[in-house]
A and B are shown apart, each in its own frame.
Chain A
């Protein structure tokens, strides 16, 4: 019985921090990943956000202890010129997942406090207009990765990884 009570207490506790807790169930974060990069440089995190609820929501900001600044960005491709611009929010509509991927919408991790190495995970907290916060551990993929592990891109996660011996 003690065990069950402990479990129950844990469940209650885990639900406490979320004013958002109930709403969290309606937002599903699929295949998040971030790009390996170097301290002082920038990186990007990608994911698909599915809204299982009945109301549209908006992804309004993000935070991570590995970056001094975290912003939401998109790319505009104009005549072969890539223009990166900050966006206020990313809509997460019901039945229309928000897709963050290379060359498009992404979470920009600015001024990294340390190197991000392939194979590790980094904490990332997403904030939604209605759905509150969602904290995740995001796997870091090689700098040249084109998609999440086991999917996305064309199967060429580049194998060179982080700095090795120079030839």
Chain B
């Protein structure tokens, strides 16, 4: 079996709360754990696509809002005490390592907990990590759609009887998307900030800024 085949990604659908959500199950969990931290997608598999969400200022955004820049995307939620802070900190450190080049990158936290993560809650939370980190929320359907497009998995797990007594299992990947929204790279929780910064720097070098006027709108 070749490394590429081993790295093949199994896609599994799971019906959760009536919504089919794509699950990303990388094969590095196999008996021979691969050391790759930046994952390639098998031929024919795509990630990303159009979305309609609400940013932390309450403004409606789509994937077009960030065109011309790279998107560094993480799915998480503000009640997440451990993994999300760790991954968001990695994104923040990677941006700092990039210096001025970080302006080519829009860091996004897409919540998988839209019921609790209002724009205000996200604005407060993202400031804990990086002043440029933007939180995105939406309706349950909008979040389900963007998670499906990115093959991100999330599922509510009850921890008590109260309406807010739950946590959320979720995939902990960081996605790097290109200037036209195309998939560039996927990082797992073992990827270091340095490796993420390197990958972004290489992607920027491969895809220099286009001279066309870039969309503005409060996302700088």
Identify the A interface with B (CB < 8 A): 35-38, 41-44, 73, 75, 77-84, 86, 102-103, 106, 108-110, 142-146, 154, 156, 158-164, 166-167
Contacts and interface: CB of A to CB of B under 8 A. Distances in A.
Interface string B17-60: 00000011110010000000000000000000000000000000
Interface residues of B, number: 42
Interface of B: 23-26, 29, 78-83, 85-86, 88-89, 92-93, 96, 123-125, 127-132, 153, 157, 159, 167, 169-173, 188-189, 192-194, 220
Contacts, number: 127
Nearest to A165: B131
Given A80-B173, A81-B171, A154-B192, A41 B82 contact: no
Contacts of A161: 128
A142 B29 CA distance: 32
Given A41-B125, A77-B189, A82-B170, A35 B85 contact: yes
The prevalent SS among residues of A at the interface is loop
Contacts of A106: 81-82
Contacts of A162: 127-128
Contact of A158 (B23, B78, B92, B189): B92
In order of increasing CB-CB distance, the 3 nearest A-B pairs are A144-B89, A143-B128, A42-B81
A164 B192 contact: no
